[in-house]
């Protein structure tokens, strides 16, 4: 039995959709979530910069005593997962591999679409992962710079969001994909819009459930799971505005957020 918490991080609040599934799958575990609100969004940033941010946050969480780190950010996973796994003494789980695996299993015509941030698309990591699993699957990638600001805005289900989804979906529909990876943790919040635009004939893939399952399997494999008979706790840290995080975070977590603690960026930089 290992009473240490599991650390989860993202550039902001999108990773709370992953945390939600972890809380449901592992209700007996404790979690600490860190959202880097002061430096979001990560998507338009160079990969080297995102890699540095991810290393700082993961190092901070490791120093805080977590037993496993979840990179609940597609951009950070694409930029930094191998580095984190090499450098940290605790296991690190990302969100890309579970999505790639699910997409390969789901596709019938071997044409998969990817909608993600600019940095995630530029990394080419999804195509590499899918190709490793099935070299015959063709991946068409589209960067979606407008979606994160719209989803975090006042009207995530408004016409502006629908119009942006239609624009980004068009190249994927043109090549006839039957499976689409929602390659950003924000996107599932407006999943009904994606499904409406693509139709029921297209399978939408999002990794939260698969990632939570991988976390559970890793805990068992490493022998570091907590007592299954207890109810776990969770706490929140942010480099941004704690009150904004608390209010908007509930939209993504779909559970209460009583409070969020502020962390200075300098504290993260010192942990790298």
- For the annotated catalytic residues, the residue numbers are 73, 184
Give the C-alpha separation, 89 to 93, whole Å.
Answer: 13
Is residue 263 within 8 A of residue 239, CB to CB? The reply is yes
What is the DSSP track for 71-100? Answer: E--HHHHHHHHHHHHHH-SS-EE-SHHHHH
Element (H, E) at 145: none
Which of these, 68, 91, 89, 92, lies nearest to 80 by C-alpha position? 92
- Give the HSE-up count for residue 23: Cα atoms under 13 Å, Cβ half-sphere: 18
Edge-to-edge strands, sheet with 179-183: 138-143, 111-116, 179-183, 203-205
Helix (H) or strand (E) holding 165: helix 159-174
Q: Find, among 98, 79, 95, the residue nearest to 18 by Cα.
A: 95
* Neighbour-count burial of 217, counting CB atoms closer than 10 A to its CB (0-12 exposed, 13-18 middle, 19+ buried): exposed
């Amino acid at each position: 039995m290992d009473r240490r918490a599991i650390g989860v991080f993202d550039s902001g609040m999108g990773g709370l959709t992953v945390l939600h599934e972890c809380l449901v799958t592992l209700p007996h575990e404790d979690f600490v979530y860190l959202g880097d609100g002061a430096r979001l969004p990560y998507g338009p940033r160079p990969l080297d910069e995102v890699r540095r941010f991810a290393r700082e946050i993961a190092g901070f969480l490791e120093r805080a005593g977590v037993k496993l780190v979840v990179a609940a950010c597609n951009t950070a996973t694409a930029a930094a997962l191998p580095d984190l796994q090499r450098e940290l003494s605790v296991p690190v789980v990302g969100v890309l591999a579970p999505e790639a695996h699910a997409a390969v299993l789901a596709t019938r015509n071997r044409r998969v679409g990817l909608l993600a941030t600019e940095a995630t698309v530029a990394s080419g990591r999804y195509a590499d992962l899918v190709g490793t699993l099935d070299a015959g699957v063709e991946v068409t990638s589209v960067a979606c710079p407008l979606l994160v600001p719209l989803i975090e805005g006042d009207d995530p289900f408004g016409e502006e969001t629908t119009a942006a989804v239609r624009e980004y979906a068009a190249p994927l529909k043109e090549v006839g994909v039957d499976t689409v990876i929602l390659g950003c943790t924000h996107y599932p919040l407006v999943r009904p819009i994606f499904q409406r635009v693509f139709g029921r004939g297209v399978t939408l893939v999002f990794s939260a459930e698969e990632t939570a399952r991988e976390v559970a399997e890793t805990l068992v494999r490493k022998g570091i799971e907590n007592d299954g008979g207890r109810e776990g706790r969770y706490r929140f840290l942010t480099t941004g505005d704690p009150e904004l995080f608390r209010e908007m975070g509930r939209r993504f977590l779909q559970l209460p957020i009583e409070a969020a603690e502020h962390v200075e960026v300098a504290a993260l930089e010192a942990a790298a």
